[in-house]
Structure 1
Amino acid sequence: MPFGFGRRSNSGLKLRLMIAVGLALFSFISYLSTGQRNPITGEKQRVAMSPDQEIALGLQAAPEMAAQHGGLHPDPQARAHVDQVGGRLLRGLDDYVRVKQGTNPFQFEFHLLKDPQTINAFALPGGQVFITAALYSRLQTEGQLAGVLGHEIGHVLSRHGAQRLAKQKLTSGLVGAAGVAGGDISSAHLAQAIGQMLNMKYGRDDELESDRWGVLLTAQAGYDPRAMLGVMEILDEATGGNGPPEMMSTHPKPANRQAYIQEVLRSVFPDGIPEGLDP
């Protein structure tokens, strides 16, 4: 072995480790600096943008998202129905916010999309909420529609989009640091896989948190929150009970979400669901 070869290799390893530590520290400090208090819940969160920036981002992306699903549904009555149920949920939200002495900075709009194939509903940061015709047509009660929309409102209220962006920036920095430390392609790929698994976990947690919002907002608007259980049955039926293993999916399985919703119902209504709620 040529004289000094081992010393040069050790020097290269030390340099890579120093760069990796620097990248990791910078990413972590940047993440810690993103702390904001949620204006509705009062909880401290790590988010990558302000509510105004979330609203602007959602408004900018909404036309493109609608176009990807064939545009808006052609039936004005069906669109008005989605708007009506969404408006009822927002009135319930206003009452909830008043009790919590918070503020709601978000601007909600509800869109029924033409797509007859994709069974889905989603929300953009800031308040743009969408449901496809494929899912809308399968819902059996207005309470189920309220549950779907309430779940999507929950994503906005919990600022999941802004939270995920901040977490993705952190994991990207840590993945980069791990790749530099390993010094080869296989190390970089392993680090990337770990980062993806972390973000999947965040996605599953977000879905369960939004299911809780769905229960709360549905009941607050005067609908029976047990309608959320029916939504999970529809989703499970639509997938035939199949799909990727839960640990490899950003969404928990509908059956597991049903169990979680049952827990939420017991905790929110320990004396039972109130009488007289709309189905």
Structure 2
Amino acid sequence: MRGVIKFIIALLVAAVSLVTYWCSSETNDFTGEEQRVDMTVEQEIALGLQAAPQMAEQYGGLHPDQQAAQEVKAIGQRLVQHTRVSDTPYQFDFHLLADEQTVNAFALPGGQVFITAGLLGRLESEGQLAGVLAHEIGHVVARHSAQQLAKAKLTQGLTGAAAIATYDPDNPASQSGAAVAAMIGQLVNMNYGREDELESDKLAVQLTGAAGYDPRSMIRVMEILEEASGGSSRGPDFLQTHPNPGNRIAKIEAAIEQEYPKGLPEGLTH
């Protein structure tokens, strides 16, 4: 009887998780894609603003070089003001972090965008910096954080249901079933993360070109990221949260060809 009750509870938990996820569907105004998100735009903006100081602190705070910081802000705002991004409700701000060692850039929900001094110091041109910032803008307007939250809650619900159904307090070995379920859920979410990265690359191609930057600069950014990894083997691409930079180059080249089938216009900033 105890097993039947556990099974029924597990089914109910799984059903609630699935219904909640599938009923959270809406159309993204920027990309036009149907997606499932777990928060409003206003909540994204509030969350990003709240988390920004703490995130900056993890990278040593903001960089004291005001001239470099203003350059980052200026290029970021050019990408916003000269593209469709200006029509979105997001409140974009761009920050240079003091960390000289870490090679990274990221965006919080709602429009707070960060780049480390470690990455900025490796970039060779304004166009490359624009490519990095445009990629992070892409994450925001595509609502990847809200989308990932919805997926994570679904995964947690389903793995929780699996744990309820398989756990037997009289048989410690049954815990391995829940562990396997959790691992599968993690791999699913990592796959979604790579898809988000590739979508942001594609959006960055559109945004850089629209703002007067050469999207081909992003190819060199990928090469720089690959060089920053030291050429070390990080295992199969499937098991990496971010796609291998070398694999992303082909996708970027295809996106440029799709966006500019007759060739890129002249006079773009490299």
TM class by smaller structure: over 0.9
Give the gaps of 5 or more residues in structure 2. 168-173
Question: For each residue in 1:96-135, what CA deviation from the matched residue of structure 2 results, as whole angstroms up to 9, or x when unmatched?
Answer: 368xxxx401000000000001000000000000000000
* Counterpart Cα distance in 2 of 1:230 and 1:55: 31
Name segments (4+ residues, structure 1) moved above 3 Å. none
1:128 to 108, 112, 126: 112
Aligned counterparts of 1:203 and 1:47: Cα–Cα separation in 2: 15
- Aligned pairs (5 A) from 1:81-120: 81-93=71-83, 96=84, 103-120=87-104
Query: What's the % identity of the aligned pairs?
Result: 56
Q: Distance in 2 between matches of 1:231 and 1:54?
A: 28
The equivalent residue for 2:132 is: 148
Which of 34, 41, 47 does residue 44 from structure 1 map onto?
A: 34
1:245 corresponds in structure 2 to 236
Query: 1:128-158 deviations in whole A, cap 9, x for unaligned?
Result: 0000000001000100000000000000000
TM-score, scaled relative to structure 2: 0.94
Match of 1:106, SS state, is coil
Q: For the pair shown, which has the larger CA radius of gyration, 1 or 2?
A: 1
Partner of 2:150: 166
TM-score (norm 1): 0.91
With 105-114 and 39-48 compared, the bigger mean Cα shift is at 39-48
Structure 1: 5+ residue stretches without partners: 1-10
Gap change, CA 1:126 and 1:29, over 3 Å in 2: same
What residue number does 1:276 align with? 267
Secondary structure of 1:45's match?
strand
Amino acid paired to 2:236: P
Separation of aligned partners in 2, 1:167 and 1:87: 31
C-alpha distance in structure 1 between counterparts of 2:250 and 2:200, whole Å: 14
Q: What is the 5 A alignment of 1:1-279?
A: 11-93=1-83, 96=84, 103-183=87-167, 184-242=174-232, 243-279=234-270
**The 10-residue stretch of structure 1 (241-250 or 51-60) with the greater mean CA deviation from structure 2:** 241-250
Q: Structure 2 counterpart of 1:123, which letter?
A: A
Q: Give the match's secondary structure for 2:35.
A: strand
Partners of 1:92 and 1:127 in 2: CA distance: 16
